[in-house]
Amino acid sequence: MSRAPLTGWKLAWHALTFVLVVALLMAPALWNGYPLVYYDSEDYVEMAFTFEPIIWRIMTYGVFCTIGRVFGTLWAIPLVHAILVTWILHEAVMGFIGRWRHMVFLGVGLAVALFTGLPWVASQILADVFAGTAVLGVAVLAFGEGLQPWRRFAVAVITAVSICLHMSHVAVAAGLLIVMILIWVLSRVLRRMPRPRMLAACLSLIGGILLVPATHYALIGRAVFSESGQVLQLALFVQNGIAKMYLDEVCPAGADLEMCEHKDELPRTADEFLWGDSPFDEMGGWKAMHDESGRIVAGAIRRFPQEVATAAAINFVEQLDAIESGEDLVPMTWHFVKTMLRRYPDEFKEFRYARQQRRPPINFKPINDFQVPINQAAQLVTLGLLALAWKRRDRTTTGLALVVIMALVGNAIVCGALSNPHDRYQNRMVWLALFTAVVGAVRLDQRFAGQRRVTIVAENKALAEEAAATQSQGSAGGAS
């Protein structure tokens, strides 16, 4: 059933709360004095002007960054981030909550703004903010109730765009597509299992995934997802020592590999291998090492399957627990400067004197000391909420919790087990656990209150009938 359209003061109140949540999500950028910049930001801003590929990036977020070019300011990008995230939050509350939705929306906005790192993610020139938006959008399309068709269409579009902006989002979306199909199949045999609305959710997932090769084909004539995946996997194998183990075995036997000459010079971490003082550039870099990386990775998996699986499991667990805010949000006085001067010269003064560029750097320790325990607790609460919702046959809450839990696990697999664990990868999605905990608790409370009202009405009706019967018997006795 569709919700009644908002009018009058209710519409004004909703608009006010929407603007307030947008402002809360932009608060770090406003406090900083300029949008926050990460190491990757430079590549995406440049792509918005040149539309030339950078082999270690996908081009979709570079296209998204043309928003800044169109409006002539990088401020437009975190503003659009905040608006789109707030839109999905709003529609999620509208789809999952039955009563007092405007108050719950404001409460959820305040909760994720104060108790999670979402505002810091939204304030960066980076696609990370859309990792959680994509997941929540899928949950709304699959299990949300009462949204008008045009609003569901808007959620589907935002979700598809969110998916296509980073390859890790694409990988998690592919996993969610499988999860949605499994939930639908199980719902045919388990009465407590929620039955998702598959059409919009699956179209959004598939559309978001296919937008990546479609964008690349339109811009560079090649319908590819990424041309750097094998190199990134090799870098992870360098970090966990598997690459060295493999090279030590095959190189003495005469393997035709460029890395054989440098196997004793490999650094300790993946980041050092790709970006630091390592033999990677000497061997030809990303393009030259693409095919050889694939050969080494495939060969290492065949020879050391147990070691590969063990390392993946360790990285997965490490990634699940890596949820701190502020990773590498350091002064960029040496980085991004040329891009600012070339692309946004009128804003260089704002960038140069922003708090991020000052010494000492922004101190995230007090923020993490406060927020990390809350987010760890929220993940545990979400697990408990799933069990409780299952027991109480609340299929909507069960569906929401399942999607969020599977997405958090899938993200840790993609970014930890298959890539290189970093705090920012899990931090960008962990706010979904707090959202689910708050919304699920409100739903269960409202269901309990509704059941209690039904019980009270039934009891009052029974008492009234009993009183009427007693009165009728008294009247009959008096007449006799």
* pLDDT at residue number 86: 97
Structure tokens at 361: 């750097």
> How many percent of the chain have pLDDT more than 70?
91
| DSSP bridge partners of 124 | 36
**Spatial contact of 91 and 155, defined as CB atoms under 8 Å apart:** yes
Burial of 15 (0-12, 13-18, 19+ CB in 10 A): exposed
Whether 377 shows a pLDDT value over 90: the answer reads yes
Residue 478 identity: G
Higher pLDDT among residues 274 and 113, named by residue? 113
Alpha-carbon gap, residue 381 to 175, rounded angstroms = 23
pLDDT tens-digit series, residues 61-83: 999 999 999 999 999 999 999 99
pLDDT tens-digit series, residues 282-332: 888 888 888 889 999 999 999 999 999 999 999 999 999 999 999 999 999
Return the number of other C-beta atoms located less than 10 Å from residue 9's C-beta.
8
Return the number of other C-beta atoms located less than 10 Å from residue 467's C-beta.
10
Alpha-carbon gap, residue 163 to 133, rounded angstroms = 9
Residue 184 identity: W
Alpha-carbon gap, residue 302 to 395, rounded angstroms = 43
* pLDDT at residue number 452: 45
Q: Angle at which helices 423-479 and 76-96 pack, to 10 degrees?
A: 30
Whether 359 shows a pLDDT value over 80: the answer reads yes
Whether 177 shows a pLDDT value over 60: the answer reads yes
Task: Return the residue matching tokens 């390592």.
Answer: 278
**Spatial contact of 346 and 353, defined as CB atoms under 8 Å apart:** no
Q: Would you list the domain boundaries of the chain?
A: 8-223+329-418+434-455, 229-303
Alpha-carbon gap, residue 348 to 352, rounded angstroms = 6
